[in-house]
Amino acid sequence: MSLTDNKRKKGGQTASSTTTITEAEHIVADQVPSNRREEVLEYLKLFGYKPDRTILQVHIVGFFNKRRANARAVEQKEAASRRYGGTTFVVVGRTHDPSIMDLVMKPKKKREETSPGYVGYLWKSKDPQKRAPHEVIPLDFTPVHIPYPADWKNMFVTKGFMVALHVPASFAKDKNKLSRALYRAGKNADVRKRWDFIEEIRSSSYGQQAAEDPLSILKIRLAKGEISPQEYEKLRQTLTT
C-alpha cells in the first residue's frame, strides 16, 4: 500500500491519509517482535541513552546537521561545548514513518532558520504524557548500519528521518568502536527479527563507557586532570538540574 496520497492539510491530515499511515503502522507492528520498544531502549543505552534525561533529535534525511555558517551558529556551538564539556552528535537510526512529525516538540523559529532539516526533538520532560523517547518513537525505527526494509519504505514513501543524540566527547573512542561493531552486525541483521546483535556487541570488545552515568564520566575526567574542580562543579550542576 502506498502513501503517495499522504498530503497534509493546514491544521491536520486528511482522514484518508491518516488511515493509510495507520494501516502501514499496523503492518510494521505485526512484523516486529512484541517487545520491540524494550529492544529500542537497550539499543539506545549503548550510546548512553537515559530515558528520563536524553533528548533525541529528528532531522530530515539530506539535511542532517546542515547549518548556515553564520557567526551566531558558531557562537552557539562553542557555548554548548563549554557548557557540556564537549559533545559528539551521533546518528543512531532512522524512520520513514511521517507520524514522527506529530510526536516531536517543534524547534524554535531561529533554530529552524539555522538548521532547515531539523524537525524537532523527543524529550520526556516536554512530552504531554511524560513518555520517554523510546516509548513513542515509531516502530519502524531502524538502527544505524542495518538496512531499512524496502517494502516499509514503499509503504511510507517519505524521504526519511534521521534520529540523533548528543554524547559526551569522552565517548568518541568508544563511539567509533560501536559504529564498527554495528556495521559488522548490520551485514547479517534483519530489523524485523529479534535484535540479538545488542548482546553480541555488549559481549564484544566494545566497552561499556557509553552506558556509564555522565556524573561518573565527569569524575573520571576530573581525576585525569582533563577538567578543573571549578569546571567539574559547573558541569555537575548542569547535569543534575
* pLDDT over 80 at 205, yes or no: no
- Within-domain flag for 102: yes
pLDDT tens digits for 86-118? 557 789 999 999 999 999 998 776 544 456 788
Helix axes 229-240, 71-84, angle to 10 degrees: 100
- Within-domain flag for 193: no
- Within-domain flag for 24: no
Total domains in the chain come to: 1
Half-sphere exposure of 14 (CA within 13 A, CB side): 10
Give the best-scoring range by mean pLDDT among 70-84, 156-170, 184-198.
184-198
- Within-domain flag for 192: no
- Within-domain flag for 4: no
Q: Of residues 114 and 44, which shows the higher confidence score?
A: 44
Domain that holds residue 68: 33-186+207-240
- Within-domain flag for 196: no
Segment among 8-12, 13-17, 97-101, 153-157 with least mean pLDDT: 8-12
- How many angstroms separate the most distant Cα atoms in the chain? 60
- Within-domain flag for 45: yes
Q: Of residues 92 and 6, which shows the higher confidence score?
A: 92
- Within-domain flag for 62: yes
pLDDT tens digits for 65-89? 545 445 555 565 555 555 544 557 7
